[in-house]
Amino acid sequence: MNKSNTALVLIDMQKESEFGIENVDSVVKNTEQLIAACRKIGIPIIYTRHINREDTIGLSNKEPLNDKGTPVFYDNGTEAVEIFDQIKPEDGDIVIDKYRWSGFYETSLDLMLSNMGVEHLIMGGFVTDGCLMTSVYDAYFRDYQVNLVKDMCGATNEGAHTASIMIMANWVYDLAIFDTSEMIKKLNGESYKSWESTYPDQLQFTPENMRETFNRLNK
Whether residue 158 has pLDDT greater than 80: yes
Residue 36 domain flag: yes
Handedness of CA 205, 208, 213, 218 (dihedral sign): positive
Q: What is the DSSP track for the chain?
A: --TTSEEEEEE--B---TT--TTHHHHHHHHHHHHHHHHHHT--EEEEEE-B-TT-TTPPTT--B-TTSSBSSSBTTSGGGSBPGGG---TT-EEEEESSSSTTTTSSHHHHHHHTT--EEEEEEE-IIIIIHHHHHHHHHTT-EEEEEEEEEE-SSHHHHHHHHHHHHHH-TT-EEE-HHHHHHHHTT-----EE--STT-----TTTHHHHHGGGG-
Q: Is residue 93 part of a domain?
A: yes
DSSP, residue by residue, 135-189: HHHHHHHTT-EEEEEEEEEE-SSHHHHHHHHHHHHHH-TT-EEE-HHHHHHHHTT
Within-domain flag for 115: yes
Backbone angles phi, psi at 16, to 5 degrees: -50, 125
Average per-residue pLDDT for the chain: 96
In a domain, 35, yes or no: yes
The answer to whether position 66 is within a domain reads: yes
Task: Tell me the pLDDT tens digit for each residue of 107-127.
Answer: 999 999 999 999 999 999 999
| Tally of domains in the chain | 1
Give the model confidence (pLDDT) of 129-142 as tens digits.
999 999 999 999 99
186 pLDDT more than 80: yes
The confidence score (pLDDT) of residue 27 equals: 97
Q: What pLDDT is recorded for position 132?
A: 98
Per-residue pLDDT of 65-97, as tens digits, reads: 999 999 999 999 999 999 999 999 999 999 999
Range of the domain at 193: 6-218
Asked if residue 127 is part of any domain, the answer here is yes
- Determine, yes or no, domain membership for 1: no
Question: Does 69 fall in a domain?
Answer: yes
- pLDDT interval class at 208 (50, 70, 90): very high
- pLDDT tens, 5-63? 999 999 999 999 888 999 999 999 999 999 999 999 999 999 999 999 999 999 999 99
**What confidence score (pLDDT) does residue 15 get?**
96
pLDDT at position 106 over 80: yes
What is the domain-level CATH number for residue 178? Answer: 3.40.50.850
pLDDT at position 1: 78
Predicted pLDDT at 219: 77
